[in-house]
C-alpha cells in the first residue's frame, strides 16, 4: 500500500533493552562528551555500574538503587588525546548476572592530505589521513581502489593496470570495489571510470573526505544510462574507511538495485600466511588460509576479517545487518565479497547502507560499532 501511494516510511531502529550511548549517538566525539547507560524497558536501572576504556581503566562508577527508579546513568568523559579510536565498556552488575555493553568512539584531531601523484605512468589520486593512505587512478578501464596502506603495510591485492587473468577471473581486477551485481568486468571495460576527491557529511554533520570513482554504463543494455559513484571515506587520524555507494542516475526502472563488493587482500603483495575469518556457531572465528589449495565458503554475517599470521593488526569488514558474503582462498589469490541492495530507484540520487573497514588488533564485538554502522550520508 505504501508503495502504491508512493509513500516512503523511514526505517525505525530496533534498540536493545539496555543500551550504552556515547555522545548522544554521534560516534565522532570532541574533547568532552557524555556516555549514557539507558534502560529502555519499564524497569529501574539498579546495580553496580562500572564504565571502563579499552585499557581497563575505570572512567566512572555508580550504584543506583531500585528505590531511585532511574532509567539512565550519565557519565561526563574527556577524550584521551593519545587515542583516535576508543572502546567504552559498561558493566551492570546484578545479583545473578552481569550485563555488558560496549561502544566505539572516534576522535579525529588533524588534517587530511590529498594530492595527485604525477610520477606514476597513470596519474594517481592519493589521500593520506595520517593513519591510512588510499589510492586510485584518475582514469582507468576498470573502477577500483588500488591501494590501502596502514602503518606502512599494503593490504590490497590489485591487478592494476594490466588486469591479467588470475584464479577464476578474467580479467582480474583485485583491490576494493563495488559494482552492480548483474554486470561483468568485461562489460565495464567498455565504459569510462573517473576518480576524484570527495567530501560527504553524515547525518550528524561530521565531514568525511575520500576518493570517489564515477562510472556511467554506456554499452551494457540492461543498465544502460546508470551512473554510480563509489565513495571511500575517512577522517583524519582514524583507522577507519567507510564504503558508500551513491546511485547518481538510475537506468529507467523504479526497482531495487543489487550491488556486490569485492575485497582482495594480501599483506605487502604476499598472500602467504594470510587468512580470511568469519564467525562460527560457537562464538569463535573460522579461518580459511590462502595459498593452501582451493577453499570456498559462504553465509550471512555482520562481520569478517582479513589477517596475517605475520602481523597482529587485522582488517575488519562490518555492516549493520547480516548480509550474504562469500570467501575464496586460492593458491594465487584471496578475496571476499558481499551483496547488498539499494533503496527503490524511484528517485535519485540514492545511497546504499554504508559498509565499514576498521584496522584493529582486537577482535571487538560487532555490537561495539553500532553507532559507526548507523551513520548515513543521505540524511542531513
- Tell me the per-residue pLDDT of 201-257, one tens digit each, with 9 for 90 and over: 999 999 999 999 999 999 899 999 999 999 999 999 999 999 999 999 888 777 778
- Beta-ladder partners of 207: 201
Distance in angstroms (rounded) separating the CA atoms of residues 164 and 291:
19
Q: Is the pLDDT of residue 197 over 90?
A: yes
Q: What pLDDT digit, counting tens, does each position of 34-43 carry?
A: 999 998 877 8
Distance in angstroms (rounded) separating the CA atoms of residues 318 and 326:
14
Buried b (16+ CB within 10 A) or exposed e, 65-96: eeeeebeebebebebeeeebbbbbbbebeeee
What distances in angstroms separate CA 251 from CA 174, 221, 352, one per listed residue?
Answer: 26, 9, 16
> Residue 131: which of 98, 103, 102, 108 has the closest Cα?
108
| Stated pTM of the model | 0.92
Domains of the chain, first to last: 18-106 (2.60.40.10), 113-373 (2.70.98.10)
Q: Which stretch of 169-173, 283-287, 341-345 has the lowest confidence by average pLDDT?
A: 341-345
Size of the chain, expressed as the number of residues it contains: 380
Distance between the two ends of the chain, CA-based, in angstroms?
A: 27
Residue 322 C-alpha cell reads as 547480516
Question: Average pLDDT, whole number, for the chain?
Answer: 90
Q: What pLDDT is recorded for position 379?
A: 54
What distances in angstroms separate CA 253 from CA 9, 256, 348, 349, one per listed residue?
Answer: 20, 9, 11, 14
Distance in angstroms (rounded) separating the CA atoms of residues 157 and 284:
27
Residue 41: Cβ-neighbour burial (10 angstroms; 0-12, 13-18, 19+): exposed
Amino acid at each position: 500500500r505504501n508503495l502504491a501511494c508512493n509513500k516512503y516510511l523511514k526505517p525505525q531502529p530496533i534498540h536493545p533493552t539496555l543500551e550504552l550511548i556515547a555522545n548522544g549517538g554521534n560516534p565522532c566525539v570532541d574533547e568532552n562528551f557524555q556516555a549514557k547507560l539507558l534502560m529502555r524497558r519499564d524497569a529501574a536501572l539498579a546495580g553496580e555500574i562500572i564504565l571502563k576504556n579499552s585499557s581497563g581503566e575505570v572512567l566512572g562508577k555508580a550504584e543506583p538503587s531500585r528505590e531511585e527508579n532511574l532509567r539512565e546513568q550519565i557519565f561526563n568523559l574527556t577524550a584521551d588525546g593519545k587515542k583516535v579510536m576508543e572502546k567504552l565498556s559498561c558493566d551492570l552488575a546484578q545479583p545473578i548476572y552481569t550485563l555488558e555493553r560496549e561502544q566505539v568512539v572516534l576522535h579525529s584531531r588533524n588534517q587530511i592530505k590529498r594530492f595527485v601523484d604525477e610520477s606514476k605512468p597513470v596519474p594517481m589520486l592519493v589521500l593520506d589521513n595520517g593513519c591510512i593512505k588510499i589510492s586510485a587512478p584518475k582514469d582507468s578501464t576498470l573502477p577500483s581502489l588500488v591501494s590501502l596502506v596502514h602503518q606502512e603495510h599494503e593490504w590490497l591485492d590489485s591487478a592494476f593496470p594490466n588486469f591479467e587473468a588470475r584464479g577464476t577471473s578474467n580479467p582480474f581486477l583485485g583491490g576494493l570495489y563495488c559494482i552492480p551485481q548483474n554486470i561483468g568486468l568485461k562489460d565495464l571495460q567498455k565504459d569510462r571510470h573517473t576518480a576524484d576527491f570527495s567530501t560527504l557529511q553524515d547525518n550528524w554533520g561530521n565531514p568525511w573526505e575520500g576518493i570517489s570513482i564515477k562510472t556511467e554504463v554506456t554499452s551494457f543494455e540492461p543498465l544502460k544510462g546508470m551512473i554510480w559513484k563509489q565513495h571511500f571515506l575517512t577522517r583524519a587520524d582514524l583507522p577507519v574507511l567507510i564504503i558508500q555507494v551513491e546511485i547518481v542516475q538510475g537506468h529507467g526502472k523504479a526497482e531495487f538495485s543489487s550491488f556486490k563488493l569485492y575485497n582482495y587482500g594480501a599483506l605487502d603483495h604476499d598472500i602467504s600466511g594470510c587468512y580470511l575469518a568469519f564467525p562460527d556457531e560457537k562464538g569463535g572465528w573460522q579461518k580459511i588460509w590462502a595459498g593452501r589449495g582451493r577453499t570456498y565458503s559462504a553465509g550471512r554475517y555482520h562481520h569478517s576479517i582479513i589477517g596475517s599470521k605475520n602481523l597482529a593488526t587485522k582488517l575488519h569488514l562490518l555492516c549493520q545487518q547480516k548480509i550474504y558474503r562469500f570467501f575464496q582462498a586460492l593458491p594465487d589469490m584471496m578475496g571476499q565479497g558481499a551483496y547488498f541492495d539499494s533503496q527503490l530507484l524511484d528517485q535519485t540520487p540514492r545511497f546504499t547502507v554504508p559498509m565499514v573497514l576498521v584496522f584493529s588488533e582486537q577482535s571487538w564485538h560487532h555490537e561495539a560499532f553500532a553507532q559507526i554502522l548507523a551513520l548515513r550520508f543521505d540524511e542531513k
